[in-house]
Amino acid sequence: MTAALKLKKNYILLEKQSFSGGLCDTVEDNGFRFDKTGHLLHLSDNKVRKLVFELLGDRLLELKRDSRIFSKGVYTHYPFQANTHGLPLEITAECLSGFVKAYAARGGVRVGAQTFEEFILTNFGDGIAKHFMIPYNAKLWGVHPSEITDEWCNRFVPTPCLDEVISGALGRPANNIGYNASFYYPPRGIGELSSAMAARLDNIRFGSSPSLIDVKHNRLFVDNTWLPYRALISSLPLDQIVNLIDKVPAKVKKAAALLWCTKLRYLDVALRVPVGTRFHWSYVPERKYPFYRVGSYSNFSAQMVPKGKGSLYVELASRSRINLDRLMPKVISGLVEMGIIKKESDVEFVRPKLIEHAYVVYDKHYSKSKKTVMEWLEEHSIFSAGRYARWEYAAMEDAVSQGINAANLAMRV
């Protein structure tokens, strides 16, 4: 959609769904509004910021992050590695001691590693690894940190300095660390952004998607007819688009087959009462809880819920099919323990959800396989934009920026 806005004319936008925006969508359900889990705008890129403000202007809420970690029965501030105050003293001491030893061993310089597990141990030490980094990331990614690399870490995993870690252990929160210390959010959900984009676009075909792409003749088969193109801009997952293309070289098919990602199953939860905590989201590393993160739509904006009510998204550690009857007692118990609700009857309804492509796994095959596929696509004037089309861990801001870049590349063809 961003690419189409950039192109302004001479484009056709094919949208498989009957609505715009894909995962950047907000649905209404009995007066509650739900995004597809937490979708926030960080807007550090001036081009992206300019476009988003042109689309939404003064409707955007500017929020300062209130994010926590719930472990050992207590809340601590995010990021965990800089905020261990409030944990049992022996755990705080273990985390602080481990960080100091690791900090000294690496000379105070952030260093890379072969695996994410090695990155954690080298940069944060044994205590932080044991009590948060390894268990949390195992739940998030669906694979152990020893199975993925640290290629995605630079932006998304903050490495505090020694002073910040010591201050955080002593009770002076270092809560402005990280790329998402503040963010913007439309008051009626992230779907306001995609709706504003769609309102400016005059050539969207809803319910349309290609069943075959013929790169030799620059055409694609869609809606029972051949549609010619000069260049394609794709937001399709990188592993899927290869399967749509006629006569793909064996090495490209093999590379695409080595790309993999994990699913995300989550719950949209409507509450009869306001959320009992004020945080925007909380990380939950301990294995005894069936979820790894709980966020609150209604704490982003009061307009997401009917007056006097609340809403949550609960991201599940299991990728298996949801059995609500078995799952909900454990979820309710965890939410009560966290102080988010007081009792089961606070829940008005629950909707189980699935995102097929959630977290791209940065394993040992990742870089080479992605490069092989991306280069072949670009040789045939197919330019990828978006988290799954470019097969990376990225934010919404990146998707907008990539759309602009893809449009620039397409105009040169």
Asked whether 2 and 54 are in contact (CB, 8 A), the reply is no
Strand 32-34 with 27-29, pairing: antiparallel
268 by DSSP, 3-state: which? strand
- Cβ neighbours, 10 Å, residue 399: 22
Task: Give me 113's structure tokens.
Answer: 């590693």
Asked whether 317 and 290 are in contact (CB, 8 A), the reply is yes
Taking only the tens place, the pLDDT of each residue in 348-397 is 999 999 999 999 999 999 999 999 999 999 999 999 999 999 999 999 99
| The total number of structural domains that make up the chain | 1
Geometric angle at alpha carbon 135, from 325 and 164, rounded to 5°: 130
What's the pLDDT score for residue 174? 73
What's the pLDDT score for residue 173? 82
Residue 159, C-beta contacts closer than 8 angstroms, at least 6 positions apart: 81, 110, 123, 124
Does 402 map to a domain?
A: no
Taking only the tens place, the pLDDT of each residue in 259-275 is 999 999 999 999 999 99
Q: Give the residue from 65, 151, 158, 41 showing the smallest Cα distance to 401.
A: 41
The Cα–Cα gap between 413 and 377 comes to: 13
Does 359 map to a domain?
A: no
Domain holding 78, by residue range, is 67-177
Taking only the tens place, the pLDDT of each residue in 72-131 is 999 999 999 999 999 999 999 999 999 999 999 999 999 989 999 999 999 999 999 999
- Cβ neighbours, 10 Å, residue 175: 18
Strands (E), 341-381: 347-360
What's the pLDDT score for residue 87? 97
> Residue 77's beta-bridge partner residues?
68
Does 163 map to a domain?
A: yes
The Cα–Cα gap between 199 and 197 comes to: 5
- With 90 as the cut, is the pLDDT of residue 71 above it? yes
Does 157 map to a domain?
A: yes
What's the pLDDT score for residue 331? 98
What's the pLDDT score for residue 263? 94
Taking only the tens place, the pLDDT of each residue in 202-247 is 999 999 999 999 999 999 999 999 999 999 999 999 999 999 999 8
The Cα–Cα gap between 32 and 348 comes to: 11
Question: Could you identify the residue written with the tokens 């979708």?
Answer: 39
Strands (E), 229-346: 232-234, 261-271, 281-283, 291-295, 310-316
> Is the preceding omega at residue 79 within 30 degrees of 0, hence cis?
yes
Does 150 map to a domain?
A: yes
DSSP states along 24-44:
S--EEETTEEE-SS---B---
What's the pLDDT score for residue 61? 96
Taking only the tens place, the pLDDT of each residue in 148-205 is 999 998 888 989 999 999 999 999 987 678 888 899 999 999 999 999 999 999 999 9
Q: Which helix (H) or strand (E) element contains residue 226?
A: strand 225-228
Burial of 188 (0-12, 13-18, 19+ CB in 10 A): middle
Does 306 map to a domain?
A: no
Task: Give me 361's structure tokens.
Answer: 């796994």
Taking only the tens place, the pLDDT of each residue in 285-318 is 999 999 999 999 999 999 999 999 999 999 999 9
Does 104 map to a domain?
A: yes
128 by DSSP, 3-state: which? helix
The Cα–Cα gap between 148 and 93 comes to: 29
Question: Could you identify the residue written with the tokens 């705080």?
Answer: 92
Taking only the tens place, the pLDDT of each residue in 22-58 is 999 999 999 999 999 999 999 999 999 999 999 998 8
C-alpha pair distances (Å), 268 with each of 193, 275, 314, 334: 20, 13, 7, 15
Does 134 map to a domain?
A: yes
